[in-house]
């Protein structure tokens, strides 16, 4: 779990202690080999950007201050992200990125991520 996400939950009052934050970081995660599958990577890309909205932490995807979505959508210009590489890899333009990120991810695609 990202520290920024935990920090936001602490500020919101959902996590009240250091032990609560540590519990997030100690959860088991799984790795998956994805041999250059653009659709998988693109689905994961949108899924990550949709998480704060789906968790009802924000009203709009672009409202989450810890997300790279604003960088990729051209709403913020000071990024640590390699936007050019990601857009080339996923074969997106800024308009397509905004449109696709706001679409609900189909259940059959989600099962490969979770």
Summarize pLDDT for 48-96 with one digit per residue, the tens: 889 898 889 999 988 988 888 888 877 777 667 787 888 788 787 777 7
How many angstroms separate the CA atoms of 82 and 107, rounded? 29
Task: Say yes or no to pLDDT of 1 above 50.
Answer: no
Q: Which of 19-23, 25-29, 36-40, 65-69 has the highest mean pLDDT?
A: 65-69
Task: Give pTM, 2 decimals.
Answer: 0.60
pLDDT score of 57: 92
SS3 of the chain: the string is: CCHHHHHHHHHHCCCCCHHHHHHHHCCCCCCCCCCCCHHHHHHHHHHHHHHHHHCCCCCCHHHCCCCCHHHHCCCCCCCCCCHHHHHHHHCCCHHHHHHHHCCCCCHHHHHHHC
Task: Say yes or no to pLDDT of 31 above 70.
Answer: no
């Amino acid at each position: 779990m990202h520290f920024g996400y935990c920090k936001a939950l602490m500020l919101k009052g959902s996590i009240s202690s250091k032990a609560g934050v540590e519990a997030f970081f100690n959860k088991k995660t799984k790795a998956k080999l994805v041999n250059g599958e653009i659709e998988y990577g693109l689905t994961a890309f949108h899924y990550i950007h949709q998480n704060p909205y789906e968790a009802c932490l924000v009203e709009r995807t672009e409202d989450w201050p810890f997300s790279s979505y604003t960088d990729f959508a051209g709403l913020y210009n000071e990024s640590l992200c390699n936007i050019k590489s990601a857009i080339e890899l996923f074969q997106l333009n800024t308009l397509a990125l905004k449109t696709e990120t706001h679409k609900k991810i189909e259940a059959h695609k989600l099962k490969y991520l979770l």
